[in-house]
Amino acid sequence: MKARAISILTAALLIAALGCGSKDSGNASGTNGSEPAPSGKSEYKIAVIPKGSTHEFWKAVKAGAESAGKELGVEVIWKGPMKEDDRESQIKVVEDFTTQQVSGIVLAPLDDTALRPPVENAVRSNIPVVIIDSDLKGGDTVSFVATDNFKGGQMAGEELARLLGGKGRVVMLRYQEGSASTNFREEGFLDAIKKHPEIEVVSANQYAGATTESAQKAAENLLAPLKKDDGSLGVDGIFTPNESSTFGMLRVLQDSQWAGKVKFVGFDASQKLVDGLKAGELQGLILQNPEKMGYLGVKTMVEHLKGTKVEKRIDTGAVLVTQENMEQPDVAKLLAPPKE
């Protein structure tokens, strides 16, 4: 009996010792309580949802977002619709990430009204939302990280007025209804132009649509009635508010041999637009900083998740680029932003 009692006591001590070892091991690996997460596992999972996936602009936003993710040690998930007119697809992406209970959502809403309900639902589900690029009407969001689009439009208007010597006939091809960012650019452009009474705005109510192809067709329809009997174009200046509308318009000008014969200021950049600027087919481009926008969108979200107070409005800047300054290092970097 004595031997049996000793054996039972020894076994009990051994089990206790193993239990203590298991607890210590759990703490060391960071899987218990508030200890650090295991090596390679992100503390936060941030969903970044662009308006679309095909424009060069969004590829630069993605590069910035992923750069911030690597620097801050968080997981960045990039997912959005292919085309910038697919509201239902973008809404579903927001809803899916809400269901997945990601740590936070960084969203560029392609419609300032349609995206409000899914954003409000995400916030009610305790998922904070940072808005980038294009603002949202309402919604309790963390911050808005974007270009001052109204100011960017004013810069375009002031440059076009300067190029025209304060007089002439101009047209503006709008982008797409419901897009807050481009709407502000358009209104900023008109605000600058109205300060020059000798400049007549011939057309400002046509929309390009979400793709280069739709923009080209819209540009053809806009300019065709303005063609003179001698084949020349009956306007002196043109403004377009984003990459696809600018490229679609440029194609029409090139195909009709009007490129370089009319003053043309656009928005955003791609290689073909840079080539057009070098060739004198475009006289100016208003450039945003999409890489910075993606970077600060993710960084702002992470700071918020960690309890740091963040600014409600963060301006990522805009620059007027012309043939004269396009070779400057800081400008050249914006003309060729990093891609995914």
Q: pLDDT tens digit string along 147-199?
A: 999 999 999 999 999 999 999 999 999 999 989 999 999 999 999 999 999 99
Residues 307 and 266 in one domain: no
User: For residue 97, is pLDDT > 60?
Assistant: yes
> Does residue 172 fall inside a structural domain?
yes
Q: Which pLDDT belongs to residue 78?
A: 97
Whole-structure pTM value: 0.81
Residues 163 and 276 in one domain: yes
Residues 254 and 311 in one domain: no
> Does residue 264 fall inside a structural domain?
yes
> Does residue 70 fall inside a structural domain?
yes
Mean pLDDT of the chain: 89
pLDDT band at 213 (very low <50, low <70, confident <90, very high): very high
Instruction: Give φ, ψ of 230 to 5 degrees.
Output: -85, 5
Residues 251 and 156 in one domain: yes
* Cβ proximity of 51 and 290 under 8 Å: no
- The number of domains in the chain is 2
Residues 76 and 110 in one domain: yes
Q: Which pLDDT belongs to residue 241?
A: 98
Q: Which pLDDT belongs to residue 339?
A: 65
User: For residue 23, is pLDDT > 50?
Assistant: no
User: How many CB atoms lie under 10 A from the CB of residue 139?
Assistant: 19
3-state secondary structure of 104: strand
Domain extent, residue 114, equals 45-147+290-316
Q: Are strands 319-321 and 168-174 parallel, antiparallel or unpaired?
A: unpaired
> Does residue 39 fall inside a structural domain?
no
